[in-house]
Amino acid sequence: MAVEEQTNTIPLLDQLDTKATKRIGDITVANVTEDLMVHKPPISFEEIPGPALLKLLDKYWKYVPLLGTQLFRSVLINRLTEGRLTWNRNIRPLKYLFNEYGPVVRLNGPFAGDIVLIHRPEHIAKVFEEEGDSPTRSGIDVLQHYRLNYRKYRFSGPYNSQGLQSMQWLQTKKVLETPIAKQINKEFEKFEMACDELLIRIRQIKNRQDEVSGDFSNELSRWSMECFWIFMISKKIGFLDSTSYNKNSEITRFIETLATAHHYMSRCETGFQFWRMIDTPYSKKLFSACDIIDGIIGKYIRNAQSHVRNNLSMHEDENQHRLTILENLLFKQRMNPEELATLLMDMIILGVNATTNSQAFLLYYLAKNPRIQRRLHEEVISKTPKDHSFTSKTFIDMPYLNACINECLRLRPAFPYITRLLSKQIILHGYKIPKGTYIIMANQISSQREENFEDPDKFKPDRWLKSSDDSYPQNSYLPFGKGIRNCIGENLAKLEMMLLTIKIIREFIIEYDYADIESRFLMMNVPDRPLRFRFISRN
Ligand code: HEM
């Protein structure tokens, strides 16, 4: 019998030997002996509850898909929720499905493979246990389309990679661990400078009531982009320099184009996907934004190529420590420039944007919780006095700051779902789930369920300070994913967020006076209102 089947063995109640008992605390329980165990065969895939199959193509027009392709094929929100939910681009439809059908929900794909939605930590654990050594995740199909069909690239990026490409990428990712850690440590000073520049900018742009304008997210975007390039090429590009705000500057164009690309990527992925057949107004806008981003990225790649050719003799180990991450990818990992361009674009459109939005939510939660902000300020001034020189060790000794970031990512993980394509059959909750099924792990839902986190809707950083005995169930909180396809930028993103938060809190009290900011799902959680924070000087 398969191992999976044995683990689903349960005793039948009417076969319990009630005389043979033992005590656990105040409770008397019947002993269950091996010979009383019965083996329940797994339940077939077809029996997993879920909304009924939609076969008729014409009905399809009524429905709006939620996520990228895999979901597009199946999630027909309006029908699935029997009209009770309108298309609002957030996580509620999935919550509804779990409430309606239980912890394992199957969505039949009228056009392609089925999808299974899960949220329980033990089910998520099982998927990761069985993910194999080259897991595949659902990618951003419209970006894949752009690369493979429009640009005729060979490779569609790490978020999409499968098969051999996936193996190559995972190899590269492993080798990069040490250079990435070194790079983050080495460039502290520059990361600090980027944060200081954002503070200067805040002082300049806030009005007489200390309020910044609605497009403060644009400033955060410049800051996280500056940090990203420091990380990649060890240089400050100047995203926050006053000259770069000029309407015609390349930097302004880059930032605006990034926002455009994000907007239309989300439109293309979540609307009806005509772009698969013909160029649509949205896909045209997305592709021309991607062309601009690709062009700028290409320039950095060419600079790195000529820098290495001109300045370094490439005798392997000798010069390894002098290579930037970008140069390392090009010359040590021998990534071809096309592949590198796709990697950088994904990192920018997804990773840099994720950092921007996570930082925005963090500032919002601090503004809405003045007591928490006060306590954080106390930790900040005691651990990082004015002349403090920052190193990666600074943050280890700041449990409350860490707790605030964890709590923000619990409530607003940048990516509310993690996906995997099953590489083999598994049993979940007694159901047999075949190889090739897409599993959607609703990370945001599991980190907001009462059984995993007490008072789940409240911003309570204290919960992260408890001893490990009281902590949350494993796999109920995975903002950076898990396993070998986890986020490569986790340490960078956390460092950026910590450094900027320290600097802001040291200088300002943050306030926010308007309606609550919720999240909107634009392929990631994005604040649904302008970030009109007040930054009140502490002096
Ligand atoms: C707060 C910020 C960020 C969050 C919350 C975040 C979250 C995630 C998540 C959930 C995944 C999928 C993991 C999985 O499937 O198991 C991921 C993948 C990835 N992230 Fe991030 N990310 C962030 C910032 C960044 C940054 C700044 C970079 C670039 C330096 C980056 C680069 C990547 C890459 C390349 C992958 C694909 C890894 C692979 O397929 O092996 N991320 N990220």
**For residues 441, 443, 448 and 451, what is the CA-based torsion angle, rounded to 10 degrees?**
50
Q: Which residue has the tokens 């246990």?
A: 129
pLDDT at 161: 62
Quote the ligand 1 centre to 530 CA distance (angstroms).
25
Quote the ligand 1 centre to 14 CA distance (angstroms).
50
| The CATH fold of domain 141-537 | Cytochrome p450 (1.10.630)
Distances (CA, A) of 20 to 10, 13, 39: 18, 14, 22
**Contacts by 262-267 with C-beta closer than 8 Å and gap 24+?**
262/349, 262/353, 262/522, 262/523, 263/522, 264/289, 265/140, 265/142, 265/143, 265/349, 265/523, 266/522, 266/523
Report the nearest atom of ligand 1 relative to the CA of 478.
Answer: 10
Residues in the chain: 539
Neighbours of 83 (CB within 10 A): 10
Query: What CA–CA distance (Å, rounded) separates 339 from 326?
Result: 12
Quote the ligand 1 centre to 330 CA distance (angstroms).
20
Query: What CA–CA distance (Å, rounded) separates 175 from 155?
Result: 20
Domain definitions of the chain by residue range: 3-38, 141-537
Quote the ligand 1 centre to 158 CA distance (angstroms).
10
Neighbours of 303 (CB within 10 A): 14
pLDDT mean by block of 10 residues, the chain; 539 residues? 41 43 49 54 90 46 39 44 40 77 81 80 96 83 87 72 73 90 92 97 97 94 98 96 93 95 86 80 95 94 87 55 86 87 92 97 98 98 86 88 97 93 94 91 94 95 80 93 95 97 97 95 90 96
pLDDT at 468: 59
Task: Tell me the Ramachandran region of residue 109: left when phi exceeds 0, alpha when psi lies from -120 to 50, beta otherwise.
Answer: beta
* Residue of the CA atom closest to atom 22 of ligand 1: 351
Quote the ligand 1 centre to 474 CA distance (angstroms).
20
Single-letter amino acid code for the residue at 49: P
Q: What are residue 395's phi and psi, to 5 degrees?
A: -80, -20
pLDDT at 138: 75
Q: Which residue has the tokens 């002993």?
A: 31
Annotated ligand binding at 487? The verdict is yes
Helix (H, G, I), strand (E, B) or coil at 459: coil
* Residue of the CA atom closest to atom 20 of ligand 1: 487
Which tokens sit at 297?
Answer: 């990225």
* Residue of the CA atom closest to atom 41 of ligand 1: 485
**Contacts by 512-517 with C-beta closer than 8 Å and gap 24+?**
512/364, 512/367, 512/368, 516/368, 517/361, 517/364
Query: What CA–CA distance (Å, rounded) separates 499 from 15?
Result: 61
Ligand 1 mutation pick, 162, 339, 408, 487, max ligand atoms within 8 A of CB: 487
Helix (H, G, I), strand (E, B) or coil at 533: strand
Ligand 1 mutation pick, 167, 174, 184, 480, max ligand atoms within 8 A of CB: 480
Which residues does ligand 1 sit against, CB inside 6 Å?
137, 158-159, 173, 347, 351-352, 354-355, 358, 414-415, 418, 479-483, 485-489, 492-493
**For residues 510, 515, 521 and 525, what is the CA-based torsion angle, rounded to 10 degrees?**
20
